[in-house]
């Protein structure tokens, strides 16, 4: 199972919006709504930001939103803040009853 | 409060086996799958496998099939990850993690603090 494809980096100024794409196949994202997104600041454990494509866990700001179209999922951060600077990973369930992570995207706040 | 507390750092020689633990508290252990994730230095997250503590059923990533064993001890609310035939490429931080846990008030996913495994001769 190959990793899902994410852009290596995205950047934006404070207050702007950025969108991270996560491209898979019909064997994962294209079939299931079990897509999650994780935020990982340097030197820390990942944190769940979005589950089941578009649902936010408690305490996650509504600036974070998720969506899916076909084989591609997306995470949008609106009103970018300095504290959002981190690595972000998507994860999907697969037709083999396993999971696969994306390649990861570094978000830089200019 | 939900907590996942992992065992301490390990140093192993190539060819050896390592067994890590992840003790949970604050929720019903058997209600949620436990995942294990590998992160090599400077690299991304890699899903290794999971266990259903309710019945012990496991799923493993193809990459780790044959070397990986994940178990759950419901008497101590502890999950274990055992990786054998270690090689230098297995040097990484290993995390245990849950999916979303739906509490009375909150819903969140939880991760352990991570355990560094160093494989070196």
3-state SS of chain B is: CCEEEECCCEEECCCCCEEEEEEEECCCHHHCCEEEEEECCCCCCEEEEEECCCCCCEEECHHHCCCEEEEEECCCCEEEEEECCCCHHHCEEEEEEECCEECCCCEECCECCCEEEEECC
Q: What is the nearest CA distance from A16 to chain B, expressed in angstroms? A: 26
Contact B108/A48, CB-based, under 8 Å?
yes
Please give the average per-residue pLDDT across B68-95, as a whole number: 98
In this structure, what are the phi and psi dihedrals at residue A82, rounded to the nearest 5 degrees? Answer: -55, -35
Number of helical H runs and strand E runs in chain A: 0, 9
Task: Show residues of chain A in contact with B61, CB under 8 Å.
Answer: 1, 98-100
B107 vs A7: CA distance, rounded Å: 29
CA pair distance A9, B113, nearest whole angstrom: 25
In this complex, which of B37, B108, B114 lies closest to A59 when CB atoms are compared? B108
* Residues of chain B contacting A, Cβ within 8 Å: 35, 37, 44-47, 49-50, 59-62, 95, 97, 99-100, 105-109, 111-114
Task: Give me the pLDDT at residue B100, please.
Answer: 87
Position A67 confidence tier, pLDDT thresholds 50, 70, 90? very high
CA B93 to chain A, closest CA, distance in angstroms equals 10
pLDDT at B104 over 90: no
Pairwise CA distance, residues B93 & B116, whole Å: 4
Q: Tokens in use for B12?
A: 């192993």
Handedness of CA B87, B38, A103, B43 (dihedral sign): negative
CA distance B117 to B14: 12
pLDDT tops 80 at residue A1: no
Disruptive mutation site among A22, A46, A54, A87 for chain B (greatest number of B CBs within 10 Å): A46
Residue B103 has pLDDT above 90, yes or no: no
8 A C-beta contact, residue A101 and residue A3: yes
Chain B residues close to A45, C-beta within 8 Å:
95, 111-114
Q: How far is A102 from chain B (nearest CA, A)?
A: 8
Give the three-state DSSP class for A82. Answer: helix
Q: What is the pLDDT of residues B34-47, one digit of tens each?
A: 999 999 999 999 99
CA angle A48, A51, A57 (to 5 degrees): 60
Nearest residue to A8 (alpha-carbon basis) of A109, A108, A104, A110: A104
- Chain B neighbors of A59, CB-CB under 8 A: 106, 108
* A28-56 residue pLDDT tens: 999 999 999 999 999 999 999 999 999 99
Can you say whether residue A89 is alpha, beta or left, with left for phi > 0 and alpha for psi between -120 and 50 degrees?
beta
Mean pLDDT of B75-99: 97
CA distance A56 to A36: 10
d(CA B112, CA A42): 16
> What confidence tier does B106 reach under pLDDT thresholds 50, 70, 90?
confident
Check CB contact under 8 Å for A58 and B59: no
Helix/strand/coil for A47: strand
């Amino acid at each position: 199972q190959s990793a899902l494809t994410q852009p290596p980096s995205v950047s934006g100024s404070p207050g702007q919006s950025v969108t991270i794409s996560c491209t898979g196949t019909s064997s994962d994202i294209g079939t299931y709504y079990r897509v999650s997104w994780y935020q990982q600041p340097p030197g820390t454990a990942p944190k769940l930001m979005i589950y089941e494509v578009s649902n936010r866990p408690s305490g996650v700001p509504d600036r974070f939103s998720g969506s899916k179209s076909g084989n591609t999922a997306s995470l949008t951060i609106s009103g970018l803040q300095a504290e959002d600077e981190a690595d972000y990973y998507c994860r999907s369930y697969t037709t083999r009853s396993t999971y696969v992570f994306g390649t990861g995207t570094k978000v830089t706040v200019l | 409060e939900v907590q996942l507390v992992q065992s301490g750092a390990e140093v192993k020689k190539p060819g050896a086996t390592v067994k890590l633990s992840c003790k949970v508290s604050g929720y019903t252990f058997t209600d949620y799958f436990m995942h294990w994730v590998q992160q090599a230095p400077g690299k991304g997250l890699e899903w290794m496998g999971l266990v259903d503590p309710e019945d012990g059923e496991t799923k493993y990533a193809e990459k780790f099939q044959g070397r990986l064993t994940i178990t759950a001890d419901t008497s101590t609310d502890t999950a274990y990850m055992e990786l054998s035939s270690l090689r230098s490429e297995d040097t990484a931080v290993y995390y245990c993690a849950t999916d979303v846990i739906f509490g009375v008030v909150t819903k969140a996913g939880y991760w352990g603090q991570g355990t560094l495994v160093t494989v070196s001769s």
